[in-house]
Structure 1
Amino acid sequence: RMFGVGCVYGRNDDRRFGFFCHSALEFILQNEFSPHIIHCHDWSSAPVAWLYKEHYSQSRMASTRVVFTIHNLEFGAHYIGKAMTYCDKATTVSPTYSRDVAGHGAIAPHREKFYGILNGIDPDIWDPYTDNFIPVPYTCENVVEGKRAAKRALQQKFGLQQTDVPIVGIITRLTAQKGIHLIKHAIHRTLESNGQVVLLGSAPDHRIQGDFCRLADALHGVYHGRVKLVLTYDEPLSHLIYAGSDFIIVPSIFEPCGLTQLVAMRYGSIPIVRKTGGLYDTVFDVDNDKDRARSLGLEPNGFSFDGADSNGVDYA
C-alpha cells in the first residue's frame, strides 16, 4: 500500500523513503551482514546516514562506515544537509561541481569530509562494438565506417535527407537545468547553417513539453527532412543517435557530472558543452584547453563555451 501509489516520487516521499531506508538497514542486521561500507545517494536514501548512527551503530554493524554521494543538490537540500552531518565521508560526481557547491549551507560546515570524484559510464552498456541498437559494430579502428552506417540508419528512421551534412544530436531531459533556451538556439543555428538536428527528450513539466511539441510541429513543417524532435524517453533510440550524430550538444546551466558527453565520446561523437561542473572536467576545447588537457595526460576532445547565452553557443 505504501509503494503502489502509481509514481516513484511526489507522494508522501518523506514517509515512504524513510521507511524504505530503515527497512534496508534492518534487513542487513537481521541477515547478519557486516558491510564495511554503506553507500547512500541523494535525498532519497539520505535517511540511511542518521538512521544508522541512531539505531545500528552499537549493533554488530558497529564497524560499518557510511559514505554519502550527492548527484544533484537541486533536490532535497534539507535531507542532504542532515546526511552530510551524519555520514563518515561524502562525495559528489565531479571535482568542479564539488567546488561549485562547497559554499552551500548543506555542505559548507562539512567540507573537510567532502570530495569530488568524477562519475563514469557503464562501458558494457555503452560500447559501439557490442551495441545491438546500431547497424555496424565499431571500435576506433573502423569508426568512420561504423558511424557512417549509423548516420544513414538515423536519417532513414526519421525521414531526413540522405546527405553528408553534420548531424547535431541532443539527448536530454528538457528542464531549466539543461539550458532549454540554448538548446532551442542550437537547433535554429544548426538548421540555418544547413546541418541536421535530432533531439530526443521529454519534459517533466507539461508546459515545457507542450512548448516543445509546438516547436516540433513548426520545425518539421519549415525544415522538412532536416530536423526531428522525438519528445519521449527512449534509451534504445539514444544509442542510434549517439552513434549516428557528428556532434552532441550539452549546454547545461549547471551539471554535476553529465553522462551525455561521456557517452558521446565513447561513440566518437564530438561534444559541444558549456563549461560547468563535470562538463568542464571531461571536455577539453580543441583551441583553448590544450595545456589543461596535457597536464592530465589527455588530448583536446571537443568544443566548449562559457556564457549561458546564444553567443556562447554560436562561438562553440
Structure 2
Amino acid sequence: MIVAADDLLSESRKGVSMQPEELQYLDDLVSPQLLNNQSVHVVFTTSKDKLPCCERTLYNYVDKCLLTARNLDMPRRVRFKARYKHKTRTASDAEFAKDRTYEDFKAYMEKNPDMPVCEMDTVVGRPGGKALLTLIFRSCNLMVAILIERNTQDCVIKALDGLCAAMGTAAFRRLCGVILTDRGSEFRSTYGIEHDANGKLRTQVFYCDPYCSWQKGGVEKNHEFIRQVLPKKTSFDWLTQDAIDLMMSHINSYPRARLNDESPFEVAEFLMGKQLLAKLNLQKIPAKDVILRPTLLKMYRIANLQQEPIHQ
C-alpha cells in the first residue's frame, strides 16, 4: 500500500496544476515576450504580478513544451565553433600601447578609483562595409552604438568627435574619463581618441592585453544583444543611425539581473538624467514590448517605406 501511495503521489506531480483556460492565459501572456528573445527570468520579473505561477514553474512549463514558446526560442543556446589559432604578433604591434597596457589601466584606477570607465569596441557587418562603434558605460551598463562608414581609425575618431559634440566635452569626460578597448588597428590613434576636435583632452585610453577580450567583458557581453537583432554576416549598409538608436533603445530597456532586475536605461536615467539620454537619442521601451530579434529592424524598414533588400 505504501508503494502504491508513493506512486500515486509521484504521478500527481507530473501533471499541470492549472485549468486549461489558466494555461491558455499564461501562454498568451508569456509566449509573445519569449518569442521576442526575452528570457524566462526577465518575463517573470516584469509580469510576476499577473502570472499564476512561480518562476521555477514557468521554466518547467517551457521545458515540457506546454507553451507556444519553446527552449529553441530562448536567446541562450549551446553553441560550438572551431577553435581559432592566433597569429604571432611582432614587437611593433605593442608600441602604440606603451604606458597604456591593462596593467597601466589597473594601476591608474587604483590611484583614481572614482574615474568613470567606458569600454569601447566595434561590431562589423560585411567586410569593408559599415560597422558599429560601441561604448558601454560601466557605471550603469548603458551602451550606445554609432554607425560608421568603415572600421577605420578615421571613422572611429569622427564618431567619437560627433558623440563628444552632442554630449559636450564635460559630459563626455564625466562618462568616459577612461576608455578601455582592444588593440585593433581602428583604435591605435591614441591622440585622436583622447582629444576632441579642438585638441582639448577628453579621456584617457588604455588597451587590453592581446586576446583577452574578457578584460572588457561588459561591452563583449552586450554585443550578444546586438547579434540577436543583427546576426553575423548581416550587412549594415542599409542601416541608418535612427535604426541603430531604435535597436539600442530596446537593448537598454531590457532588465538585467545584475542590475537588480532594472534596465540600464532606468539606472542611467537616475545617474545621468533624462536630458543627456535624449542627447543620445535613446528612449525607454516598456519591458514587455522589448524585441531582440531581426524582426525589430525589419518592421522599422517597413514603417519607413524602405524597400531595398537586406543583404545577409
- Greater RCO structure (CA 8 Å; 6+ sep): 2
The answer, yes or no, to whether TM exceeds 0.5 is: no
Larger Rg over CA atoms: 2
Q: Which structure's residues are more often strand, by fraction? A: 1
The two structures have a TM-score, normalised by structure 2, of: 0.29
The two structures have a TM-score, normalised by structure 1, of: 0.28
Q: Which structure's residues are more often helix, by fraction? A: 2
